[in-house]
Structure 1
Amino acid sequence: MSAEPDTVHRVALRGRLGRRALLAGAIGITALAMVRPAQARPGLDAAVADFAGGREVQAGRVRFDIPPLVENGNAVGVSIAVESPMTQLDHVTRIALFNEKNPQADMVVFHLGPRAGRAAVSTRVRLATSQTIVALAEMSDGSVWSARANVVVTLAACIEDLL
């Protein structure tokens, strides 16, 4: 009977080592999953080209209101309006916002239809640092229109991937 407690103790010890190894492995895998390759983020031009789907992006028809100088990049107000009658035959189908230096190039895509009444949206975004912001509008005829703005940010947000 004296061998039985020793056997139980060894089995329990192996179980603890297994849990520790499992925990260490899980932490290691999580750390590896968080490390992204430097080229994983598409550039601004690639994101705009992807949205346009091979169509030519034309300047105009999009009015883009964003402050040129932002004190804090955590919540920047943005308004986008597109010249469109918003009829069944001529309306805006999508409005998108893209950035140059945030961890993700695409910020938001709004889907609209003729019953929206007007082609205007507004939101708040986070900006990692001073950068170029692009607003795009896709029309029902397939054309894509754009506006660009340069924004200077004095206190950045989204800085985890920039360091």
Structure 2
Amino acid sequence: MGLNKMSVIDFSVYPQRQVVRRRLLKAGAALGAWLIIRPAISASEDLASAIRGYTGGAVALPGKVKLDVAALVDNGNTVPLSVAVDSPMTAADHVVKIAIFNEKNPQRDVIKFTLGARAGKAEVVSRIRLATSQKLVAVAQTSDGRFWSDSVDVIVTLAACIEGDV
């Protein structure tokens, strides 16, 4: 019995296959990039949409609000945070409401607080759950109708709030 020689296929005689293969590889790479980038774009648009809904379309200006939350969180099940707004809290000039929004949890508006001039301080403290690393935004409305905001990017090492979690 003789040894079978492995035949080597010379694909240079099949230029059409190389073109098709390259196109498929490019399309696959483009699809992969789109699948990675699309959720991030969608999450940012959803966050902006939730904030616009809260402000009635008004722009939330940066400043006056201080969102205090750790930049690195070990466990997303309980994340302490506080929001303080620079306001004299008088009858003529006070904070009316404060809301906290998140980028990637199933529900974008996490907490909403209503305040009045007699609150004394425009400061709230709470704990929230975070599904994953994401941006948090605090928005406050003052009695003159203007909206102010602050945002923090939070890295979560152990996530909570999985999609579908209520």
| TM tier, smaller | 0.7 to 0.9
- Please tell me the residue identity of whatever aligns with 2:106: P
The within-5 A match list for 1:127-146 is: 127-146=130-149
- Using the TM superposition, give the Cα deviation of residue 161 of structure 1 relative to its aligned residue in structure 2, in angstroms: 4.0
- Please tell me the residue identity of whatever aligns with 2:157: T
**Which of these residues, 80, 93, 97, is aligned with residue 94 of structure 1?**
97
* Divergent runs of 4+, >4 A: none
Q: Percent identity?
A: 53
Residues 105 and 163 of structure 2 are in contact (CA less than 8 Å); yes or no, is this contact kept in structure 1?
A: no
For structure 2, the 5+ residue unaligned runs are 1-41
Partners in 1 of 2:53 and 2:163 — Cα distance?
25
Residues 95 and 117 of structure 2 are in contact (CA less than 8 Å); yes or no, is this contact kept in structure 1?
A: yes
For structure 1, the 5+ residue unaligned runs are 1-38
Taking structure 1 as the reference length, what is the TM-score of the superposition?
Answer: 0.72
- Please tell me the residue identity of whatever aligns with 2:142: M
**Which of these residues, 83, 89, 107, is aligned with residue 86 of structure 2?**
83
Partners in 2 of 1:107 and 1:72 — Cα distance?
17
RMSD over aligned Cα, in angstroms? Answer: 1.5
The 3-state SS of whatever aligns with 1:51 is helix
Name the residue aligned to 1:126.
129
- Using the TM superposition, give the Cα deviation of residue 111 of structure 1 relative to its aligned residue in structure 2, in angstroms: 0.1
**Which of these residues, 144, 151, 154, is aligned with residue 148 of structure 1?**
151
The 3-state SS of whatever aligns with 1:156 is coil
- Please tell me the residue identity of whatever aligns with 2:163: E
- Please tell me the residue identity of whatever aligns with 1:115: R
- Please tell me the residue identity of whatever aligns with 1:71: D
- Please tell me the residue identity of whatever aligns with 1:44: L
The 3-state SS of whatever aligns with 2:53 is helix
- Structure 1 position 47 matched with structure 2 position 50: yes
Name the residue aligned to 1:58.
61
- Using the TM superposition, give the Cα deviation of residue 152 of structure 1 relative to its aligned residue in structure 2, in angstroms: 0.1
